[in-house]
Amino acid sequence: MNNNKFSFELLHADSQTAARRSRFHTPHGPVEMPAFMPVGTLGTVKGLEIEHVRQTGTQMVLGNTYHLTLRPGEDVVRELGGLHDFMGWQGPILTDSGGFQLYSLAKMTKVDDRKAVFRSHIDGQLLELSPEHAIRIQEALGSDVAMVLDHVIGLPAPREAVRDAMRRTIDWAERCRAAGRRDDQAQFAIVQGGLDADLRVECAQKLVDMDFPGYAVGGLSVGEEPAEMLQVLEATVPALPVDRPRYLMGVGRPEDLLQSIRRGIDLFDCVMPTRNGRNATAFTDHGRIRLRNLKYERDPRPIDENCPCAACRRSMGYLRHLFMAREMLGPILLSMHNICYYQRLLADARDAIEADLYEEFCKSKLSGWAKQEIE
């Protein structure tokens, strides 16, 4: 990593697995890895004031290029001090490039080798997003890490379609690299190739030749089975540099996080903790608690007596009442709990790696989650 504003330290490699304990230095502070980023698509982690996000133990958050350029517009964000000042978060920020929207908004999107053209989901206006434009937007936003524009397609897909998207992703990565102007923003490349191990390795090798400061594995959690995702990681991760961060995009079940760390991934993001929190579901070491269940109506226990979050200072009976009464405090508290749970899980994973106990840690957690719900 040549930019002196960014550096990556590999602190310890687990003796039994490919899990790594590492530290990624950015202009807004270090990120202890493995790490999880809550999703702040529009400059906010849904329902949470930024101090609440800090209290969960979060180190780094994610914003989205496509959504922020539509509302309020990157020029507005730049004029108001950049994304850090705009949202009040002075820690590291990573911005996605808009590539995922090529998949999620496929019916409103046209893609060719030059660019993607979206029809806004807000007002129907056209938005052209080329690799160069994606980088200009992210530089205006001022994130610490800018993701290159990639072409994400749904799975399963014909091999020719997967190869075409992979080829376009490689070309766009090179164009993003050439378009970058800020020395206080690192670009991460994104490995595509569907479920085809050969295509994934080919893509990784060509991106590694471009010498990016970090690498992501993208195009997963788009319809494939968890076992297929893990097979992709087993093929792809060994082709990535040891001395750069490895980021698995958009994957967020706790079991998937631990299995991916086991295979050498350092960084994650997902809407799962907040989306589940808004829908009355809490994550615990014993599986998910669905608080709308009648059996919690008179339950005096906290979700987790060892959790320091505000939700766990209340009873499950009270939290259930908030959801049944449609009080907005319920989704807020449960979102805080779920993010806090994810951050505690990743902190414990870091400790387990340092102690060469990650395999035992992983087995213990997976066994607890297998119940899915507290009896």
- Determine how β-strand 186-191 pairs with β-strand 145-147: parallel
- Structure tokens belonging to residue 6: 């960014």
Radius of gyration of the chain (CA): 20
- Determine how β-strand 287-290 pairs with β-strand 281-284: antiparallel
Give the containing element (helix H, strand E) for 361. Answer: helix 358-369
CB 155 within 8 A of CB 222: yes
CB 303 within 8 A of CB 284: yes
> Catalytic site residues?
96, 269
What is the rounded distance in angstroms from the CA atom of residue 252 to the CA atom of residue 248? 9
Percent composition of the chain: helix, strand, coil (DSSP 3-state, to 5): 40, 20, 40
CB 63 within 8 A of CB 112: no
Apex 73 CA angle, 92 and 137, nearest 5: 55
Length of the chain: 375
CB 9 within 8 A of CB 23: yes
- Structure tokens belonging to residue 358: 């990650």
- Structure tokens belonging to residue 122: 């807000």
What is the rounded distance in angstroms from the CA atom of residue 105 to the CA atom of residue 99? 10
CB 335 within 8 A of CB 277: yes
